Structure 1
Amino acid sequence: MASTEWNFLVLLMVIMAFSEWVQHSDAAQITFGSCTPQESDERGQCIHITSCPFLAELLTTEPQTPAQLLLLSKSQCGLDNRAEGQLNSTLVCCPRSKRIDVEEPEPSHLPGNDQQPGNVLPGNDVCGFHFADRIFGGTNTSIWEFPWMVLLQYRKLDVNKSTSSNEYTFNCGGTLLNTLYVLTAGHCLANRKLEKAGVVLHSVRLGEWDTRTDPDCSTQMNGQRICAPSHIDIEVEKGIVHDQYVPNSVDQQNDIALVRLKRSVSYTDYVRPICLPTGDLIQNNFVDYSMDVAGWGLTENRQPSPTKLMLTVNVLNRTICQLKYTSFKVKLYESQLCAGGMAGMDTCDGDSGGPLMVSISTGGRDVFYIAGITSYGTKQCGFGGWPGVYTRTGAFIDWIQQKLEA
């Protein structure tokens, strides 16, 4: 279906659902970034259509002119998949002068921003939700997608390796768990390659999408331009590698680590935690599940991607995966997952420590859980028939909870 046809179908559904707006028009206004409204020179904000009377009133105009329908269509700047109902989830670029005069919530007043202790994990009413339209051989993500993803920033040591320089590099990824902790791979903290490169973990970058720009801006399919807030860099207080992880081991068992930040994170629609597996998901090996991986790692050009990329992979039976890796004398454990294996599509250098994500329908909404952590694969990324190996997060839930401190 052409995008124009889809937009008009969405508008028809919005019009049919207009009666819901009357009941929700007093809801708190939330902004999803700045934008440039159609037919206007002033700046706008991407907000729920219920908070923009200028556009919401067009829904009740009968009959609607082609120009009004086109304006509504081109004003859409996304969908909020956390809201229920087509009307309540529709987002539009609303001129600043034509919004409801409601105070926009500061980050500290958003759900989950109660500055909870570091040993408290958010519930699935806070974690795992992302706002989006919807690696190696991967596709571009939207500017809002996977808000729990972080970059680990390393500081290069001077030649004598006793003092730090002002050079920084991104060598690994990670996943925000709560206001103080990031989950990553053990080899992102304990690794001979990092030692030889003379780098040390310094900080974590949150709310990033394109490493070349700050702030990040993106032009949507309908021509709407959206800009996110600036990214956030927070220094690392300490790294916690699993006690039984052996750096540079062949099988990379227990390849998991936590990073504690020096200060708490405030959640926004661009910085938000993922959910850890709970209940039956803890023991699930996810065979034949389709999952997402994402990161800024090497692309098919052997260069790091400046923008966050994503890829969908299927989880394989570990026995089948073991047959492949036996030739390298590598043993796979129950605490590991195998996924992917299609030629030209894989996680690669720089994606290490990033999440293997599964979307589960919970309470009528799609909630993302971190099923695995990118661990290792073949030296040549994207080699057909060779899946990547991931640390299975469910096997380490107790370890994670024991290491979290208030």
Structure 2
Amino acid sequence: MGEKVVSYLWMLACILIATAGARDFDWNEAANEELSFTDCWTRSNPSKKSGFPKPVFNFEKENLSFKGCGNWYGKNDGKLAPWHVLLYRRFCPGVVLSDRTIITTNGNRCAYVLETFKETQEKITIFGGECADKRNEDTCYMFRGLLRQRVIIFPNHTHMVLFANLSEVIDVKKVVINIGSFYSQSIYLWEVDISLKFTPSLQPACLWNSGNENDHVTEKFYHTNVKVVKPNSRLSSDFLQEEKCFEDSTVKKWQCDLYGNSICTDFGSKIIATNRGSFLFIERRGRFYLRASIGMANEINNDILAWLDLVPYLRRIVAASANLAMMPEIPDLIKKRIDFGATQSFENCGRQPRRPRSRRETDDKAPAGGFIVGGRNAVKGHHPWHASMSRETNLGVNIPDFCGATLVTKTTLVTAAHCLVGNDGPRYNISELYVTLGMHSSLSENENSRQYFAVLDIVVHPNYTGGFINDIALIELDDEVEVTEFVRPICLWNSDHDLDKITNRTGTVVGWGHTSNQTYSDILQRAELKIVSYEECYDSKKLFFSVHLKPRGNFCAGFIHNNTGACKGDSGGGFSLYDREPDLHFLRGVVSLGRLRDVPWSSEKSCDPKFYALYTDVTTYMQWIVENSPGINKKSPLS
């Protein structure tokens, strides 16, 4: 009984000294209120009852978070669980997740390491894998070898420095995630810039790769020891139903919050004394998957432990980890679409002129634009909705064609928000901007097809905060365009919004972008690009698209196998699809983001045609476009 009191006092003291994540806690209320286990479970686990979706790391059969993860070679021969490492000798046990990431909890040992070294800047030694010399304490601790990598935390608490072989200094970063209501539920992710070299005794554990629906009924949970104490270095326990977990207990409200999203196990007294900073694993088909963690003071009673289920937080863990990626979630489809009526969004929109093509205008051997990698010269007048955005500074410097845009009414164009707004606000004064429509050759200023306009206003999507998410904006011209053979609005999308319905279809992008040899195209370029599924896009470059792909908000297109794609130089231009039945062109996307690559012997960046480019999906923003674009036809009022 005395030990139990000490345990609770220690837990209370730890929470009292913590500041992170405890702002909304009412101590007076918590001190006086007790809950039954039923009330506690209802309060702390509402989301758990409905389950969490299956995380997708890749589309291979085993769906592994890191290649080859979860293997425990010689696990029945008394070998160490190979994912365990120790930071700063006797203090902080962690688990390797990738060749660059180690996860620890804020158990008393790791919290002490973190706080101490924030202040002292002393070195943190990492031990992992098998010892080369078990008699040498400087290179071996708890049967683990020195990885010859050390960490220093600077006073600003934002960076660490990794010393490789005590000579080369390399920047690394530390990430702290508070994922519970209290400091006691925090985890730390440590990133190293020198990739760990994996051996049979040093392997990454897998992150959980399934949902949590009903898995507690059938799964067996394993606690793998940091130190080998006997030949079988893993202990197992069945999941305990909540009735057993809180049996004969009353739980104070502050304790209940601590046990939110819990997994309860009964390992007896075997790990109670050493559970701080521990992790819980599930074995499936010979691989071990990280499922839950323990911070401080998670003992309930009768040797029962409450573990924090990590499934709800996997996306945040992966996002903060180096060399780990997860497929972005695909939101439910917004099925409602705007009925523009028989005349489409604008009368006579989306029509190309019917003229014979000249040999010169369709020369397939023309140099490809860097934005339209692998493109060709466009036919004059065939993209009458495409506009060039330029800038003339107060000093008289002309900066032409810095972005593209697409005409949708006589006064409104759709473009990319990042063309006009940066992280610190507007990039340019509106008075400096002008728009050119009907241009085919950027050098032939006497083209009689051209129309020039000043910019009256810019409307940026309200959810745009910089970068490439919600990357869409509208430009209002100071006067109406004259609809001609060479200047005409495109039709707004009026079909099903589901991307699956147009996957593998080919769309068109045009522009005067940067060429592959770092020059600009004189003639408007065009390219035909294939729309790919969210899954194919993500799987092509997981680390890149796990960050930048936002299903329903944008989509991917290109031909990466024959080096045809979109990139820098003409962001904001339109991605159009042609429907043969009405013989019209429709705006489906806005050029948003392409990946760049270094150019040898140059400080410039060039387009990387081996990556798909991202296009803002206008169907997600259709109501906003219509509400902010005077002159659009609509059969019925917007609701």
TM-score using structure 2 length: 0.39
Question: Is the contact made by 1:202 and 1:236 (CA closer than 8 Å) also made in structure 2?
Answer: yes
Distance 2:428 2:475 in 1: 20
Alignment of 1:230-379 (within 5 A): 230-248=449-467, 252-280=468-496, 282-285=497-500, 286-328=502-544, 329-333=546-550, 334-342=552-560, 343-363=562-582, 366-379=583-596
- Distance (whole Å) between structure 2 residues aligned to residue 338 and residue 192 of structure 1: 24
Does 1:138 find its partner at 2:375?
A: yes
2:385 counterpart residue number: 148
Secondary structure at 1:400 match in 2: helix
Report the CA distance between 1:382 and its aligned residue: 4.8
Residue pair 1:129, 1:367 contacting (<8 A) in 2 also? yes
2:634 aligned with 1:394: no
State the AA in 1 paired with 2:553. S
- Whole-angstrom distance in 2 between the partners of 1:302 and 1:344: 16
**Shift in Å, 1:168:** 3.7
Q: Do 1:155 and 1:168's aligned partners in 2 also have CA atoms closer than 8 Å?
A: yes
Q: Secondary structure at the match of 1:372?
A: strand
Match of 1:385 in 2: 610
Following the alignment from structure 1 to structure 2, what is the Cα–Cα distance between the partners of residues 326 and 186? 25
Higher RCO (C-alpha under 8 Å, 6+ residues apart): 1
Kindly tell me the number of residue pairs found equivalent between the two proteins. Answer: 262
> Residues 5-404 of structure 1 correspond to what in structure 2 (within 5 A)?
123=345, 126-131=348-353, 133=356, 135-158=372-395, 165-191=396-422, 202-216=433-447, 229-248=448-467, 252-280=468-496, 282-285=497-500, 286-328=502-544, 329-333=546-550, 334-342=552-560, 343-363=562-582, 366-380=583-597, 381-404=606-629
**Aligned alpha-carbon RMSD (Å):** 2.6
Aligned partner of 1:126: which letter? N
CA contact (8 A) 1:154 1:199 kept: no
1:308 to 1:327, Cα distance in 2 relative to 1, 3 A: same
Q: 1:258 to 1:305 in 2, by over 3 A?
A: same
SS at match of 1:330: helix
Structure 2 distance, partners of 1:231, 1:122, is 25
Deviations 1:247-272, CA, capped at 9 Å, x for gaps: 13xxx111100000011111000001
Cα deviations by residue, 1:208-230 (Å, 9 ceiling, x for unpaired) = 000101334xxxxxxxxxxxx24
Three-state SS of the structure 1 residue aligned to 2:421 is: coil
- After superposition, the Cα gap between the structure-2 partners of 1:384 and 1:271, relative to the gap in structure 1 and judged at 3 Å, is closer
Look up the equivalent residue of 1:383 and give its one-letter code. Answer: D
Q: Equivalents in 2 of 1:154, 1:207: separation in Å?
A: 17
Residue 386 of structure 1, CA deviation: 1.1
Structure 1 runs (4+) deviating above 4 angstroms are 121-125, 192-201
Distance across 2 between alignment mates of 1:272 and 1:321: 33
| Percentage of identical aligned residues | 26
Asked whether the 8 Å contact 1:300–1:344 carries over to 2, the reply is no
Deviation at 1:166, TM superposition (A): 5.0
CA-to-partner distance for each residue in 1:364-402, whole Å, 9 max, x for gaps? xx2100110000011135534310000011111101011
1:152·1:170 contact (CA, 8 Å) conserved in 2? Answer: yes
Return the offset for 1:300: 1.5
Distance 1:179 1:243 in 2: 23
**Match of 1:264, as an amino acid?**
E
Taking structure 1 as reference, are residues 126 and 357 closer, same or farther at Cα in structure 2, changes over 3 Å only?
Answer: same
Question: What amino acid is the match of 2:623?
Answer: D
Distance 1:388 1:289 in 2: 15
Kindly indicate whether the alpha-carbon contact (under 8 Å) linking 1:137 and 1:299 is maintained by their aligned counterparts in 2. no
Contact 1:189 1:201 in 2 (8 A): no
Q: What residue ranges of structure 2 are gaps of 5+ in the alignment?
A: 1-342, 358-371, 598-605, 632-639
User: Which whole-Å CA distance do the structure 2 matches of 1:186 and 1:128 have between them?
Assistant: 23
The farther-off stretch of 233-242 and 185-194 is 185-194
- Residues 317, 206 of structure 1: alpha-carbon distance in 2 compared, 3 angstrom cutoff: same
- State how far apart, in whole Å, the 2-side matches of 1:193 and 1:312 are: 35
Query: Matches of 1:336 and 1:133 in 2, distance apart?
Result: 36
After TM superposition, give the deviation of residue 241 of structure 1 in Å. Answer: 0.7
Q: Which one has the largest radius of gyration?
A: 2
Q: Supply the AA of the counterpart residue of 1:148.
A: W
The SS at the match of 2:515 is coil
Uncovered stretches (5+) of structure 1, i.e. residues with no partner: 1-120, 159-164, 217-228
CA-CA distance at 1:124 after TM superposition: 6.5
Hey, what does 1:3 align to over in structure 2? none
